[in-house]
Structure 1
Amino acid sequence: MNLQNLRVFLKVAELEHITRASEELHLTQPAVTKIMQSLEQEVQLDLVERQGRRIVLTHAGRVLQTYARQMFSLEREMDDALAALRDVHRGEVKLAANTTAGVYLLPSIVARFRGLYPQVGLNISIWNSQDIIEHILDWSLDFGIVEGEASQLPAGLDVRFFTRDALILIASPTHAWCGAEAIHPSSLERRR
């Protein structure tokens, strides 16, 4: 279905008059009439009824009007979202990560960000998790990547969990733990 024809239909529905719609759309009255007839042929339903010089929507016309409004509302949302992306030309984002995240996660995040926002500067720091949290809370950082339990972080932070880390214990082939299927974490504390 031609979106321009739907726009014409919506204007006719709004004004309930073909001549007034043609004037607002800067089209001839026969062009608007032809578009309306074309739409009716396409959907194989009558969309309007003439009541004297006025146009009244049929039930099918009201259904089409509802969906057309939704489509154009979505089109406006899309345009706004794309405009917001076009407007990201400059500025700076301050980001910090702890050592592990900085080594293993940050390179791919930075590469993706650079691809999306090449004109935005990145100020990246590597700090411990507690320093990152403090700088986020005092607004000197925009984003931080830390390790830990989300439930242990201060209230008021917008926290997004995005990956899980697995720690693996490695021991010498002659160590007492070699071959053990499981080792309780408290065993690690006693070996210090």
Structure 2
Amino acid sequence: MDHYLQVFVTVAEKKNFSRAAEELHMTQPAVSQYIRTFEDNFGVRLLERTNKYVRLNKAGEIVYHHAKQIVGLYTKMHHLVDDLANKASGTLSIGASYTFGEYIIPHIIAKMQSLYPSIQPTVTIGNTSDIAQLTLNHQLDVGIVEGHIKTEKDLCIEEFTDDYMSVVASPQHPLAIKHEVTIKDLEEQRWILREFGSGTREAAETVLKRFEISPTQIMSLGSTQPIKEAVEAGLGISLLSQWTIQKELRHGDLKILKLKGLPYVRKFSIVTTSSPFQTKALQVFLDLLKHDKSLTTLNDTEKE
């Protein structure tokens, strides 16, 4: 790969010539010379420099956006060629939405590392649209997302497992002792939900609309863990993926409320680019993902 491109990307991300030089194992004057030559080739400045910062200007943002795609494609190409003669190894960049990324991916990676220690995974957690876009831009090798994805001709989207979502409350909550709750019961409660834009909030809005529930109060929190803490503390109820509450259910810290028509089922999808080539590292990860018995076991339990 053109070393000038790598130097530019590193400076843009580190926002500092000294830190970039350290990362690249180069001297600062050498990095500065690379950047000057790189800008001369474009005939325009790409970085704004002061004594306090280095940052991209408009032209630099365009070059950086495409440079990241080129770097991603080059890395993938290198691994594909290397795979012809070697076992699964090298870097694997994985993206996932919050529920899957925080509660499922660590277990998949642990299993993969025990079987293929030469694979070097990195994980990016974000909302569904961000993960899909990063995959499309070749900045991620694969994404695992929830909810709806805008169809792109260069993306391959494959549904691979179900996620069961239920309304939960503290065991001390008045509704927890009822054999089955009613719509009126749920309307009178404070609902503690994820922020707008998350797949979990999208699912909650769908459930509220489907059951024609109009909560008297909704509290929004930015991640699942504080929602669980708030529900355990008796602040309200929530709709959560049963993947995220396994420990709390086992320890008796949360209880699923029974409502006819629940659990709500949503799909998780694997997102990759439409390229006909996949590295061995990606193939290994996808095989483990699709055949993970823990996912099948949980789904079979919830169907009963």
TM-score when normalising by structure 1:
0.46
Greater RCO (Cα-Cα under 8 Å, separation 6 or more): 2
Pair member with larger Rg: 1
The TM-score with structure 2 as length reference comes to 0.30
